[in-house]
Each structure stands twice: as structure tokens, then as C-alpha cells.
């Protein structure tokens, strides 16, 4: 059986007002937003609250005509969707289609920072809106650059330790090894 | 600001029928249940599907009078609650209480395997049922025993490497260091 899911990326919660919601999530539980962002195309404001390798996403409307505002009027605040990070979004979508699962997006959409996303219809998931997400494009490059920066720092430390080890061995060879212990 | 939350432990989804739900989660997404369990006290069957360090929990009713069955009749299938693992459940609850948050449980309940759990009222969380969970009791001991077993295996490997390193140093001291390279 092929594993398509890497991890749970986030759980999205629809709220009336993000500041008000942060009274619980931040002041109550100590979960601090890593970033907040207005999404003008969707008439919404979002805040991401990391908890180890997953996040809680708060979504609130910025206009009365937005989908989020309509959702709130119809259903009230609460859980909106689960986002799963997958290894390969195209392969996952093709496999799901083969199983008769109804997809909202026929092809992955390109989101902020170049990431690929697609939604699965709640009809095929027992009423749960599921988002698929693949780390890719610009976002991947940014992360790789950060990882490289970190690797270079670690390498430098590693080189320093290697140099110290070489000194130690040189001392041993010259019969000064015992001195090191004093 | 104190951090109370360690990670997202699980997201619980209420479904009519676990086998049917697994057609999507297992056959579609490749998420395999780590274990399934009947909870007779709650008239429910649960299945846990791990995704890295969090899980999707599927809950279905086993009797018509259960809370899960009533929930399904009223709301239909969908997301039920989020469970957050906290460092210290009593401290978290006391802090939330001080912030005026309404708790469903006044004191943590002791769940299966000795773990401590408590629910927060959706009234204080913008309509989201939030479960707090602290790893403790018997469950903690089982995990410690497993970690010790692993540590002992690693230690043995470490000891073997240390012995090899000592041999190498001894050879160096005896002036045989260069031989090692040939």
C-alpha cells in the first residue's frame, strides 16, 4: 500500500475575529502566531499558530461577501478543514480519482510561495473538507536555502572539532597525550 | 508567555462506518490504522491513523443511544474535536480557568493506559471542541521502557565504536598509526 501522506500540515478554524480568538489560543494556551496574512482574493485574514510540526490556522473574514463570511453565517465558527502534506500531489490526486473520490480541483492550484494545493470534496470524505498540499516551487527553494545556511554553520563547527581532534592525535603521537588529561 | 502545548495529538472525525471511511483514508490516502479499539463505555469504535507525530482518529457509534450516534443524527459526519498534547494538564487548566475559559471537566479524567485528558467547552474556543491530553501514568512507563530498550541497543553500538576508537589510538601510540591507512 502506497503512503501518500507525509504529515498533518494544519487544521483550519473559521472565527469571527482573530484578535478575539487569540485570547484563547495565544493568551490561554501560549500558541503564538508565526505569521498573519491578509488574503485579499479571498476576503480573509489568516494567522498560523505552530505546534511542533503542525499548525492551527485561524481564518476570519475581511469582507461581508467573502466565502468565509458566508460560511460563518451558515454554520457559525468552528473547524473548517484539515490540510495534509503529501509527497506527490499529482500522484495522490490520480490515485484518489482512480478510487472514485470526488476532487474539487481537477489540477493542483499554485498557492502563495509556489506551493501546490488541491481540495477533496467532503462528499467523498464523510463530511470533512480535506486539503492536499505539496511543498514545491519557490517555497521549496526558500527552505533549501535556509537548510544550506544551517548546514554551512554546522560544517564550520564540525571542521573546528576535526581540527581539535587532529591536534589531540598529534599530541598523542608526540607522546604528550597524557598531558591533555591534566 | 508560557507555552502549554507540545503538539497536535489528533483530530477526531465522526463517521457512520469506520470500514467505509477507511476506503478513503486507507485505500485512497494510504493511511493505515495503528490500532482499532471498541470503547464500550461510550458505545463507540475508534481507529487511529498516524501521520508522522499526529493522528487522524475515526470514531463511529456501536449503539444507537451513544453520544456519537446522537451527534451523527444532529450534525452528520465531520470533524469532531482537536486534541492537543500539553506539558502539564493541571497547570494548563488552572491558567485557562484564570483567563475565564469554560472547562467541561473540572479535573483531568484518567483515560485508557493512565493518560490524563480534559475537554474545553466550545463556548470558549469559537465553536471548536478542544481536548487536552498529558502523557502520564502507565502509558508513560510503557513509553519509557521502550525508549530504554532503544537506548540500550544504541549504547551497545556506541560501545563497539568506542572500543574500535581505543584500538586505533593504541595503535597510534605504538607507532603503528600509518599502517591503519594502508
Tell me how many residue pairs between chain A and chain B have CB atoms under 8 A apart: 131
Rounded CA separation B10/B84 (Å): 7
Other C-beta atoms closer than 10 Å to the C-beta of B182 total 4
The pTM assigned to this predicted structure is: 0.77
Nearest to A6 by CA among A135, A105, A99, A148: A135
Give me the pLDDT at residue A135, please: 87
Chain mean pLDDT for chain B: 86
Q: A41 falls in which pLDDT band (50, 70, 90)?
A: confident
Rounded CA separation A114/A117 (Å): 10
Probe site for chain A from B128, B166, B171, B181 (most A CB atoms < 10 A): B128
- In this prediction the ipTM stands at 0.75
Q: For residue B2, which residues of chain A lie inside 8 Å, CB to CB?
A: 30
Query: What Å distances lie between residue B176 and A147, B161, B180, CA to CA?
Result: 41, 19, 7
Rg (CA), chain B: 24
Looking at the domain that runs over A5-136, which CATH code has it been given? Answer: 3.10.180.10
A125 interface with B at CB cutoff 8 Å: yes
Residue with cell 487569540: A22
CATH 3.10.180.10 range(s) for chain B read 5-136
User: Is the backbone of residue B133 left (phi > 0), alpha (psi -120 to 50) or beta?
Assistant: beta
pLDDT tens-place string over residues A145-161? 766 666 666 656 666 66
pLDDT tens-place string over residues B115-154? 899 999 999 999 999 999 998 766 667 667 766 666 666 6
Nearest to A71 by CA among A129, A2, A7: A129
Longest dimension (CA), chain B: 83
Other C-beta atoms closer than 10 Å to the C-beta of B104 total 15
Name the grid cell of A33: 502566531
Amino acid at each position: 500500500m502506497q503512503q501518500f501522506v507525509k504529515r498533518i500540515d494544519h487544521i483550519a478554524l473559521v472565527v469571527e475575529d482573530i484578535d478575539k480568538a487569540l485570547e484563547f489560543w495565544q493568551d490561554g494556551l501560549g500558541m503564538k502566531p508565526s505569521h498573519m496574512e491578509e488574503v485579499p482574493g479571498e476576503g480573509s485574514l489568516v494567522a498560523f499558530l505552530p505546534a511542533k510540526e503542525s499548525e492551527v490556522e485561524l481564518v476570519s473574514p475581511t469582507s461581508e461577501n467573502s466565502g468565509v463570511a458566508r460560511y460563518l453565517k451558515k454554520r457559525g465558527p468552528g473547524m473548517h478543514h484539515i490540510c495534509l502534506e503529501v509527497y506527490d500531489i499529482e500522484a495522490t490526486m490520480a490515485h484518489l480519482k482512480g478510487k472514485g473520490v470526488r476532487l474539487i480541483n481537477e489540477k493542483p492550484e499554485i498557492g502563495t510561495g509556489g506551493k501546490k494545493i488541491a481540495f477533496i470534496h467532503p462528499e467523498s470524505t464523510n463530511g470533512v473538507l480535506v486539503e492536499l498540499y505539496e511543498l514545491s516551487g519557490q517555497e521549496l527553494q526558500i527552505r533549501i536555502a535556509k537548510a544550506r545556511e544551517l548546514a554551512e554553520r554546522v560544517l564550520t563547527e564540525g571542521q573546528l572539532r576535526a581540527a581539535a581532534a587532529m591536534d589531540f592525535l598529534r599530541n598523542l603521537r608526540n607522546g604528550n597525550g597524557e598531558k591533555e588529561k591534566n
